[in-house]
Structure 1
């Protein structure tokens, strides 16, 4: 009982240490493929050419494999290379391992193909309506076989979809990154105060004070929307909404109709400001700027089509 079991487990034939990991004891796939090529072609040089390596590199790899296994595998002569008896046996084992690796690779490719066949995107309303269409057109030129589905909602909904694994990539507009998500800034935006031309604010000679805006009932998006979050944080609170609507388009239509003032993304009202269906009201004391972000579950950086889309959105 002179040696402990642990010592015995670390000692192999001849008293030499045997590492515990298979990776240290079993040749790699490249070496096995080389041995199979030598067996098939009867030539180390021919095997090297088939695998796209030099003959010295092939010889070095065979010698390394022989040292690793502790047996001679190939007899070399001017007439070619011949497997030893041990080499024939090792080649048979290697063939089974390479076939299993090929099956593994085919299965992994099938998983990638299934992943790449679809892309599920969740986006807050402004991004979904005014930025994503252009990005998705560009994506289609790169990945024409990928089917894309888009869920538009507020920033809270986007976060919930991602965390429930119901979306592969999300886009939000809020003041902070929702819990459980990582993010990257992909664009910048500014909120503007707008009214119909007939509203008294459209004829103001001086900028609107932030305190007056905060105290005025506005046409607003619902709670949980990025626009509402940014506005509430910038003004330190808001009056009870005049009307609360669930889409940017609906809020804009209500403002155009003259129902009351609103605060909307500059991206959303460019056309209406140009044709004077809406008027921008200058705001004093505060700038309503915000970052637009791509988001994904923490620790799971986008891959496949989601990664392609993310690359198209960067500022």
Structure 2
């Protein structure tokens, strides 16, 4: 009897991996590109096959059972091997295709892409031509064919474009040690943040879009900024002076928070998480698939 008659198929294993990473059936369905109904059907079929519950559904989301986590742990080498096989097979059609053109938004290109590219190179990936800008500029390069793969953190994504969530990020409110909020004991509310002139990224950045979306969910709009700056580094330097608060990626301020150069201000009533998304049009060439697999390999790591 074939092996596949005794074990869940690869698509089902990917579903379990996505549920473990994302904590909900809906998010897992979006990650693997199938409907929620199809995800539920795959889970039910797998549970019948192995004879134990694999997923627990709750009011706040879904999680793997202890047995489900064991199945995922045992299947991880199978998934990793399948991804390497997929990448290798795809490279057969890539001979002479030229460098992989990657466009990445600033937060990803500064804090995540260097590690991804190092691992990609270790796996024998093709040369990469990298361009960096805000999320809007990345989407423009993808739309007009100047990029094979786009990496963005904006929540607003175009329709009719292939996508895969490669991770998550979180925005945090930060101030310098001389700012009045540095000694604040109560959390900053959405209304507080909306009423305060902030140091912000420029229009078109994923950071600004995420903040605007979070405030809009509370029926609010950000006040006119204290200043608009084009890079995370420039904003961090300005915040350190005590000029005004800012809202930045946790990745961008991790070192400053560790040294005390910036202070994190607790918030309430705000949802400042955001997906990190890979985008492409048409067929994904083998080298792009290899980089996508590298980026996705850290998806199961919990947020800090």
TM over 0.5: yes
Q: 1:232 aligns with which of 212, 229, 242?
A: 212
Is 2:267 aligned against 1:287? no
Tell me if 1:204 matches 2:204: no
CA gap of 1:203–1:304, structure 2 versus 1, over 3 A, is same
1:255 is the counterpart of 2:239? yes
Task: State yes or no: 1:127 paired with 2:127.
Answer: no
1:147 and 1:257 map into 2 onto residues whose CA distance is 41
Q: Deviations over 1:14-57 (max 9, x none)?
A: xxxxxxxxxxxxxxxxxxxxxxxxxxxxxxxxxxxxxxxxxxxx
State the structure with more CA Rg: 1
Residue 222 of structure 1 deviates from its aligned partner by 0.7
CA distance in 2 between counterparts of 1:171 and 1:242 reads 29
Q: What residue in structure 1 maps to residue 291 of structure 2? A: 309
Listed as ranges, the matches of 1:135-284 within 5 Å are 135-143=116-124, 146-236=126-216, 237-284=221-268
> Relative contact order (C-alpha < 8 Å, sep 6+): which is higher?
2
Q: Matched residue of 2:171: which SS?
A: strand
Deviation track 1:75-103 (CA, whole Å, cap 9, x = no partner) reads xxxxxxxxxxxxxxxxxxxxxxxxxxxxx
Q: Give the Å deviation of 1:179.
A: 3.6
The aligned residue for residue 42 of structure 2 is: none
2: CA distance, partners of 1:233 / 1:269: 21
1:25 corresponds to: none
Displacement after TM superposition at 1:154 (Å): 1.0
Q: 3-state DSSP class of the match of 1:292?
A: strand
For residues 66-85 of structure 1, the aligned pairs below 5 Å read none
CA distance in 2, matches of 1:271, 1:168: 32
Distance 1:190 1:112 in 2: 36
Partner of 1:183, secondary structure, is strand
How far apart are the structure 1 equivalents of 2:234 and 2:161? Answer: 29
Deviation at 1:137, TM superposition (A): 0.5
Is residue 112 of structure 1 aligned with residue 94 of structure 2? yes
| 3-state SS in 2 of match to 1:161 | helix
Unaligned runs of 5+ in 2: 1-90, 300-304
Cα RMSD for the two superposed structures: 1.6
CA distance in 2, matches of 1:185, 1:130: 17
> Deviation string for 1:107-143 (max 9, x for gaps)?
xx9972221x411110111001000000001111122
Distance 2:160 2:235 in 1: 30
The residue aligned with 1:88 is none
> SS state of the match for residue 247, structure 2?
strand
Give TM-score, length-normalised by structure 2.
Answer: 0.64
Aligned residue for 2:278, secondary structure, equals: strand
Is 1:119–1:149's contact at 8 Å kept on the other side of the alignment? yes
Give aligned pairs, total: 203
Please list every run of at least 4 consecutive aligned residues from structure 1 whose deviation after the TM superposition is greater than 6 angstroms.
none
Contact 1:177 1:183 in 2 (8 A): no
**Cα distance between partner residues in 1 of 2:248 and 2:135:** 15
The structural deviation recorded for 1:235 is 0.7
